[in-house]
Structures are given as structure tokens and as C-alpha cells.
Amino acid sequence: MDSAESAGGRLGAVLSAPRAGVVALGDRGPWLATTPAQARQVLTDVAHFDFPADVSRSGDLSASRGETRSGHLLFEPLTPDQVARGVATFARLWPESVAAHDRDAPGEPYDAMRLLRRPVARSTCDALLDHASEQQRDTVADGVLAWIDALAPVISAARAPRRWSRVRRDEREARHDLEDALAQVDGLPGTPQQAATMLAAGIQVPIAAGSWLLAWLGSHPSYDVEPAHAAWETLRLTPPTWITARLTTTDVELGGARLAAGSVVLVSPLLLGRLAELVPGDPDGLAGFDPDRWQDETRRPGAWLPFGAGPHACPGRNLGMAVLVHLAGWATTHRVRLAREVKIDQSRGLAPLPCRFTTAVGGGGSR
């Protein structure tokens, strides 16, 4: 597997930044918080560090004119019932997705990012859309996946695409189709626009996280591993939301530096997950996948903030973890193995490109 440590682009710049104080990544920022205390300050002090308005381009706010989302809706954390419903759907649909591949492409390696789409989309829809019919959930799940696909070229474009460009129009159309489908559903979490945002966040990120989990376990095939430890270790080494951005609303002090109003400040769970103070085990081995390190209970898994922190922390974290733990259990009993070298796709969060794997137990033509 390609390692984050040898990656170029923004990932390389963040990982090679000095790990003290707040660091300017360019002449005039963005600024990078490099300690857990600074990261917490940025994520919890929403009066001074606000959400950028254009979240679709988070991490690259070079075109930002300083608009923030102050005063917008906070999402309620999922209830235990919602989590139970979501993970039950995932547990039912994941083997179906694997079996469909065995039918359609026997002997071909599985593609994690593809296989996970429907089980994750339906799992999140079932968790959130209590009052929707089966058919509505199917329509909405397909609509979210179509919107996520249409958003990809908007996010990964080197420069923000123009308002009337083809990619913007396709994205708008997909978003409107989804919002129309959501408008038919009773008891939505918020308006159709807000529900669409929540569903997209709750589907795109777990698909990438699940794919990374299979990639890590597939490159350590004989691992007799505790599923929760494998899930945490995956979220430590390759958190899909590896960087998040805030804009300062006023002049503010951070880590001894004075930042002007309108500065972009970045927090990176991926960087924090490589700090020896937060992670047990040999400080020289922190770039390696070692789920057993979490048997040492002197450090709390998640202290590197793979689900964020503060009022905008992930409301779906319990469902995300439950799905990953389920998938890790499946991967170890089926002896997942990587079939191809994995590269790191940084175009939109972090995703494995591709994660093609086989299983030694149970999979049709996949041996």
C-alpha cells in the first residue's frame, strides 16, 4: 500500500509540517493546528472559528471570500435505535452485495468502494428516515449516491468550476432530484436540503472508511484481530476526513500566533493520529498498521479526532463505528487479501484507489 508518509500534494505538506505551534502552510496561510489543544480550540470555539460556507470544497478554500455558515443547524446525534437499525441493514445487505459480485463477475477481485455503496447508502437511509417506505429509502439512497458522484468532479477540480459549467449543472440536477425525493418523506431530520447534506456526509465517508479498513486488513491477511481495534487503527492511519477547515470570524490568537479575521485554519486528524502522546506503542512505528496497540488502554482511541469535536462533531459516529466493526469481523473471518497495490486518492477526503481484494474463505470465484 502507498503510505501517507510518502504522499505528495497537500497530504505530504501537512505531514511534513513542523509539529509545534500553529504552522503557516503558505505565505499567507492556510494555518495548520498541530497540537491536540489547538485542534480542540479550533473545533470547539465556534464563535471565533466558524464553518466555511462552501463545505463542498473544504480543505481548498483558496476561492473563499470569507463567508461562513454561522447560525446554521446542528445535527442531533443518532439515537441507539437509529444505530441499531442502520447496522442491521448493513449486516443484511453487505453479504448480498458480495454475492451479487460473485454472480456478475465470478473470479474477479472485489472492488471495495463499489461493493460498499449500496449497503452503506441503505444503512444510513434506514437509520435516518424512520417514516419512509422501503421504496422511498431505495429512491433516496440511489439519489444520494448520484449526488455524491456528481459532486466528485466539483470537489476535485483544481479550480472551483464556474456556476454554469457542465459539472455544476450536473451536480445541481442531482441535488434537486434528491431534494424532490426527500420532500415526499415524512419526519425528515430538517429540511430536504439539510437531510440531503446529512445523508451525503453519512454515506460518502463510511464508504471510504470501510474501503480503507478492507485495504489495511487485506495487507495484513493473517491478522487475528479484534474488530474494534482494526476500526480505530484504520481511522488513525487513514481517516477519510483527514483535514477540515474553519474560518476565523475575528482576529484571534492560536498557539501563540495572531491570526487575522478571515484566515483559514486547518485541523488534521491524520496528523494528530501520528503524535506519540496520543497513540500507544513504539514512537518510531506509528506509521504502521498495528491494531493490537489498542490493547494498551493507557491511551483513548479517537483522541486524534477522526469524528471531529465540538458542536460540529460527527452525529453519526456510533453508526460509523458499528458498521466498521461489523465489516472488520467479516473481513477477518473471510481472510481478505489485497489483490492490487493501493494508491491514495486525495481528490476528496482520503480514499483508496482502488481497493481490489479477494477472500480465502467463502467468496465465490474470489480465491
**What does the binding site for ligand HEM look like in residue numbers (CB under 6 A)?**
74-75, 78, 124, 127-128, 198, 201-202, 205-206, 209, 235, 239-241, 244, 306-308, 312, 314-316, 319-320, 324
How far apart CA 36 and CA 256 sit, in angstroms, is: 15
Provide the CB-side half-sphere exposure for 107 (13 A, CA): 0
Q: What is the smallest separation between the CB atom of 301 and ligand HEM, expressed in angstroms?
A: 13
Q: What is the smallest separation between the CB atom of 315 and ligand HEM, expressed in angstroms?
A: 5
Report the amino acid identity of residue 20. A
Question: Which residues touch 181 (CB under 8 Å, ≥6 apart)?
Answer: 136, 139, 140, 143
DSSP structural state of residue 319: H
Which of 101/312 has CB closer to ligand HEM? Answer: 312
Which of 72/169 has CB closer to ligand HEM? Answer: 72
How far apart CA 43 and CA 204 sit, in angstroms, is: 22
Please measure the distance between the N-terminal and C-terminal CA atoms of the chain and give it in whole angstroms. 20
Which of 259/321 has CB closer to ligand HEM? Answer: 321
Among the listed residues 287, 266, 124, 136, the one whose alpha carbon sits nearest the alpha carbon of residue 209? 124
CA–CA–CA angle 126, 127, 130 (5° rounding): 70
How many Å separate Cα 273 from the centre of its chain?
Answer: 15
Report the amino acid identity of residue 121. A
Q: What is the smallest separation between the CB atom of 252 and ligand HEM, expressed in angstroms?
A: 18
Which of 255/306 has CB closer to ligand HEM? Answer: 306
Which of 123/366 has CB closer to ligand HEM? Answer: 123
Q: What is the smallest separation between the CB atom of 106 and ligand HEM, expressed in angstroms?
A: 30
Which of 1/319 has CB closer to ligand HEM? Answer: 319
Q: What is the smallest separation between the CB atom of 3 and ligand HEM, expressed in angstroms?
A: 20
How far apart CA 203 and CA 118 sit, in angstroms, is: 9
Q: What is the smallest separation between the CB atom of 217 and ligand HEM, expressed in angstroms?
A: 15
Q: What is the smallest separation between the CB atom of 222 and ligand HEM, expressed in angstroms?
A: 25
DSSP 137-189: HHHHHHHHHHHHHHHHHHHHSSSPPPTTSHHHHHHHHHHHHHHHHHHTSSS-S
Q: What is the smallest separation between the CB atom of 179 and ligand HEM, expressed in angstroms?
A: 16
Which of 218/239 has CB closer to ligand HEM? Answer: 239
Scanning the structure block, which residue is given the C-alpha cell 489547538?
38
- Measured torsion, CA atoms of residues 315, 202, 64, 236, in degrees rounded to the nearest 10: 80
Provide the CB-side half-sphere exposure for 165 (13 A, CA): 12
Which of 89/241 has CB closer to ligand HEM? Answer: 241
Tell how strand 31-33 and strand 22-24 pair up.
antiparallel
Residue number with the smallest Cβ distance to ligand HEM: 316
Which of 349/363 has CB closer to ligand HEM? Answer: 349
Which of 192/206 has CB closer to ligand HEM? Answer: 206
Q: What is the smallest separation between the CB atom of 131 and ligand HEM, expressed in angstroms?
A: 16
How far apart CA 346 and CA 362 sit, in angstroms, is: 33
Cα distances (angstroms) measured from residue 354 to each of 110, 270, 334, 345: 10, 20, 20, 9
Asked whether the beta carbons of 366 and 109 are under 8 A apart, the reply is: yes
What stretch of H or E contains 118? helix 117-128
Q: What is the smallest separation between the CB atom of 77 and ligand HEM, expressed in angstroms?
A: 9
